[in-house]
């Protein structure tokens, strides 16, 4: 048996109004994933609630909880019992009036390894996240789990090559992206829908190729208010090939077997890491390069 052959699972599910119901469903799905042989299980973005960021309202602040806190306590017990790593995206209350969109990482012995706070916060129609979340201040992080070194980024972070690069440079073998992305339910053009979804996949498979890592995006499904989440959770190998993909609609546990020993092969045949001109990238920290 190859010790670097790791089965991962992405949980794609619909959510209801009651957070306790959503947590219970996630626990059930994690159990199912473990039965299916998964060693690392990633849940979708903000899995305990409906996607409340479609509007600006004060009531959803009541959903926020500390991390570690009640939800992570439940997941730590589950991880210990099943010997699985869990990536869980939650609405974090840091202090009174300060909130983050945060992913907790729990190791296979139930230990809490730490958290990543979403760095890029969108503010678009239907995605008014700046009203609820302040940008992360923990930087880009990796987590050394029993089954491998993983990086975690969240949804809008997907569109930024810098985030993927800085996480991969710390040794991540797999980049996990808990996600909540979809179309406006009123969008009827199949061409527009298809092009949006393809752009989403293209940017992430590009991260896989450029960094020689596996990329795993766990998206939610179902229609909530004015948004129709497009599902299609997927896993890409380091050559940008989609090795597993969930359906557009409906709930699913998506499995993928990731051979981490192949990362060295990919990077030696496409030596992008070797050939980086790090001496020439200083201007990347500028907002715009004015002439």
Strands 242-245 and 234-236: antiparallel
How is residue 232 written in tokens? 């299609």
Bridge partners of residue 217, in order along the sequence: 177, 234
The single residue of 155, 245, 252, 258 carrying the catalytic annotation is: 155
Q: Is residue 118 flagged as an active site residue?
A: yes
Element (H, E) at 102: strand 98-106
3-class secondary-structure state, position 204: helix
Q: Is residue 187 flagged as an active site residue?
A: no
How is residue 121 written in tokens? 């916060």
Q: Is residue 144 flagged as an active site residue?
A: no
Bridge partners of residue 163, in order along the sequence: none
Distance CA 63, CA 81 (A): 27
Closest to 226 in 3D by CA, of 109, 82, 58, 52: 52
Are 23 and 48 a contacting pair, CB within 8 Å?
A: yes
The single residue of 15, 25, 42, 45 carrying the catalytic annotation is: 45
Question: How much of the chain is helix, strand and coil, in % rounded to 5?
Answer: 30, 30, 40
The single residue of 15, 42, 53, 118 carrying the catalytic annotation is: 118
Active site members? 45, 118, 155
């Amino acid at each position: 048996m190859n010790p670097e052959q790791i089965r991962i699972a992405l949980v794609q599910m619909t959510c209801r109004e009651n957070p306790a119901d959503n947590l219970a469903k996630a626990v059930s799905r994690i159990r199912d994933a473990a039965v299916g042989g998964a060693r690392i299980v990633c849940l979708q973005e903000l899995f305990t609630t409906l996607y409340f960021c479609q509007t600006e309202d004060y009531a959803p602040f009541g959903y926020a909880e500390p991390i570690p806190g009640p939800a992570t306590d439940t997941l730590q017990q589950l991880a210990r019992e099943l010997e699985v790593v869990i990536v869980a995206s939650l609405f974090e209350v840091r202090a009174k009036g300060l909130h983050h969109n945060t992913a907790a990482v729990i190791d296979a012995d139930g230990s809490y390894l730490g958290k990543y706070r979403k760095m890029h916060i969108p503010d678009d129609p239907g995605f008014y996240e700046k009203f609820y979340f302040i940008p992360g201040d923990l930087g880009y992080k990796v987590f050394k789990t029993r089954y491998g070194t993983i990086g975690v980024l969240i949804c809008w972070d997907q569109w930024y090559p810098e985030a993927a690069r800085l996480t991969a440079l710390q040794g991540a073998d797999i980049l996990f992206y808990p996600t909540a992305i979809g179309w406006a339910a009123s969008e009827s053009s199949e061409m527009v829908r298809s092009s949006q979804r393809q752009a989403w996949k293209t940017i992430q498979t590009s991260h896989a190729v450029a960094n020689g890592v596996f990329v795993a995006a766990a998206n939610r499904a179902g229609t909530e208010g004015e948004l129709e989440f497009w599902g299609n959770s997927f896993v890409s190998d380091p050559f940008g090939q989609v090795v597993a993909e969930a359906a557009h609609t409906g709930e699913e546990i998506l499995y993928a077997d990731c051979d981490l020993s192949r990362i060295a092969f990919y990077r030696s045949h496409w030596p992008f890491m070797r050939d980086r001109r790090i001496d020439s990238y200083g201007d990347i920290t500028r907002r715009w390069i004015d002439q």
